[in-house]
Amino acid sequence: MSVEDFICPGRTGQGGIAARSKRSVLAIPAQGDRQKSIMHIFFASVILLMTSTVVADELLWQKLRQDPDMVVLMRNSESSGNLDGGNMLVWDVSGKCRGESLLTEQGKAHARRVGQAFTEHGIQPMVISSPMCRCTETARIAFGEYLTDPDLRQSASMDDAAMQALHDKTSTLLSRYRGKTPIVLVNHRPNIDSLTMELLEIGDLLVGSITDTGEIEVAGRIRIEP
């Protein structure tokens, strides 16, 4: 037996090393094909994610239209304080907004899109807002009419009395006004975090239901890009 016969016995048969190697080489996709497959998987995943998000959003809009005792919590749209780092705790009790953070032009446009989204889904909510001007601006531009209360303002995080007043007043107002018409609460990130343990970005709409005691049970989020 030659060396060649030892390495590739039955060179034209099925058992040779050369034959097996050839079949293995043929089974490996070309580099271009692998890249195409990866791209197809990536785009399919993106489309699936987008579809899932749209379906989830529509289910939440449907709950807002049909279910009683629903609430949406949202931050004010972009304000000057979000850009320049100004003191977000300044509040002009007179309502003239002196020294307060006010909506930017982009913030005003975003507030209009939020209101348009509710209109497109056939929802006319009852609106409760923090008395601080960046929130009342958002509420007015998005929805028109709103109620407000001093206890709903943003306070220093270490002010335990103010945070307790926020919780008590929010529960009272939600219990009083819950019913067939959904409520939108326009407020501040630290306050919403304290009320729900959820951190919201500008553009997030936190959807939930109101319990008999005025607590909030979170159902999900809808995103309206700023």
Exposure of 155 in the CB half-sphere (CA atoms within 13 A): 15
Contacts of 20 (CB under 8 A, 6+ apart): none
Q: What's residue 13's pLDDT? A: 47
Per-residue pLDDT of 174-183, as tens digits, reads 999 999 999 9
Q: In angstroms, rounded to a whole number, what is the distance separating the alpha carbons of residues 128 and 147?
A: 5
pLDDT of 110 above 90: yes
- Find the range with the poorest average confidence among 72-81, 156-165, 194-203: 156-165
Q: What's residue 159's pLDDT? A: 86
* Mean predicted lDDT score pLDDT of the chain: 86
Q: In angstroms, rounded to a whole number, what is the distance separating the alpha carbons of residues 226 and 130?
A: 20
User: Please, which pLDDT band fits residue 10 given cuts at 50, 70 and 90?
Assistant: very low
Contacts of 83 (CB under 8 A, 6+ apart): 104
Q: What's residue 3's pLDDT? A: 40
pLDDT of 53 above 90: no
The mean per-residue pLDDT over the stretch 103-113 comes to: 98
The mean per-residue pLDDT over the stretch 40-46 comes to: 58
Two tokens, residue 165? 């007043």
CATH 3.40.50.1240 fits 67-223, yes or no: yes
User: Please, which pLDDT band fits residue 52 given cuts at 50, 70 and 90?
Assistant: low
The mean per-residue pLDDT over the stretch 171-175 comes to: 98
Enumerate the domain spans of the chain. Answer: 18-66, 67-223
User: Please, which pLDDT band fits residue 12 given cuts at 50, 70 and 90?
Assistant: very low
pLDDT of 77 above 70: yes
pLDDT of 20 above 90: no
